[in-house]
């Protein structure tokens, strides 16, 4: 696992990019072009894209080619994810997408300061690595993955640090949904400031 971006200027290590439907969180159900950037040192044990952790230089793509693919898809909304995308300087990619009138969201653990221009900051902190303090200020959406009963208290700790306008979501870890989804439903009924996020793309069998 590599802990620092080793990308050259004008390139990013891309594991995959594709046009699909956003399956979770605030933008669930919305058509979105996903750019999955390699590199992550958070190490979530239940991560479903562990193959994105390693940075492979042979996967470097020019930002020109990434922009071309986004525009060719016809998408108006782009999600930058990983891995941990904030390990990389996203200034050039995001500024150029913005110039093309592409709305940009990022999905991040918040462990690294953001370098770039983002319209929507989805902050999903993990117990495995402490977030950078700036994540709480930037968060438009706080998404907490529930995989243990103690995660509810942990979620409230993070909710107390974000702005009052930040959207709050609880999402069950996929392999434990039979156990934890009923608990999340009960919790949200008792604490209606929270909403439920489901990984609807997995129900639809799309990427």
**pLDDT (0 to 100) of residue 7:** 54
User: What confidence tens digit (pLDDT) does each residue in 38-82 have?
Assistant: 999 998 877 878 889 999 989 999 999 999 999 999 999 999 999
The mean predicted confidence, pLDDT, of the chain is 93
Cα 128 versus chain centre, distance: 16
Residue 3: pLDDT band by 50, 70, 90 thresholds?
A: very low
Whole-number Cα distances in Å, 14 to 7, 68, 93, 101, 154: 11, 14, 12, 22, 32
Report the C-alpha gap between 120 and 139 in whole angstroms.
Answer: 8
Provide the number of structural domains found in the chain. Answer: 1
CB contact at 8 A, 89 and 10: no
- Is the confidence at residue 1, as pLDDT, over 50? no
Report the C-alpha gap between 86 and 77 in whole angstroms.
Answer: 19
Q: Where are the alpha helices (DSSP H) in the chain?
A: 63-73, 91-99, 134-138, 151-159, 177-190, 200-203
Residue 3 lies in a domain: no
Residue 120 lies in a domain: yes
- Please give the DSSP secondary-structure letter assigned to residue 7: P
**pLDDT (0 to 100) of residue 206:** 87
Structural domain that includes position 74: 11-203
CB contact at 8 A, 13 and 57: yes
Which range is least confidently modeled, 13-22, 40-49, 97-106, 154-163? Answer: 40-49
- Is the confidence at residue 115, as pLDDT, over 90? yes
Residue 69 lies in a domain: yes
Residues 6+ apart with CB under 8 A from 179: none
103 vs 199, residue with greater confidence: 103
CB contact at 8 A, 103 and 119: yes
Tell the residue number behind the tokens 């693919």, with chain if given.
69
204 vs 30, residue with greater confidence: 30
Q: How many CB atoms lie within 10 A of CB 180?
A: 22
What is the three-class DSSP state of 150? coil
**pLDDT (0 to 100) of residue 47:** 80
Residue 6 lies in a domain: no
Residue 85 lies in a domain: yes
Instruction: List the CATH number of the domain containing 66.
Output: 3.20.20.70
User: What confidence tens digit (pLDDT) does each residue in 142-159 have?
Assistant: 999 999 999 999 999 999
Residue 5 lies in a domain: no
């Amino acid at each position: 696992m590599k802990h620092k971006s080793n990308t050259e200027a004008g390139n990013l290590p891309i594991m995959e990019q594709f046009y699909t439907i956003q399956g979770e969180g605030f933008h669930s159900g919305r058509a979105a072009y996903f750019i999955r950037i390699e590199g992550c040192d958070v190490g979530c044990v239940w991560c479903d894209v562990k193959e994105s952790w390693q940075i492979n230089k042979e996967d470097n793509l020019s930002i020109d080619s990434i922009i071309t693919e986004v525009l060719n898809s016809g998408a108006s909304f782009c999600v930058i994810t990983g891995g941990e995308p904030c390990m990389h300087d996203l200034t050039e990619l995001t500024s150029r997408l913005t110039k093309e009138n592409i709305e940009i969201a990022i999905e991040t653990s918040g462990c690294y300061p953001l370098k770039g221009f983002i319209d929507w900051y989805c902050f999903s902190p993990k117990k495995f690595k402490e977030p950078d303090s700036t994540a709480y200020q930037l968060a438009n959406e706080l998404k907490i993955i529930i995989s243990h009963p103690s995660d509810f208290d942990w979620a409230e700790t993070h909710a107390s640090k974000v702005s009052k306008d930040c959207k709050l979501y609880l999402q069950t870890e996929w392999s434990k949904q039979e156990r934890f989804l009923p608990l999340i439903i009960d919790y949200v009924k008792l604490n209606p400031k929270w909403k439920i996020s489901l990984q609807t793309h997995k129900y639809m069998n799309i990427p």
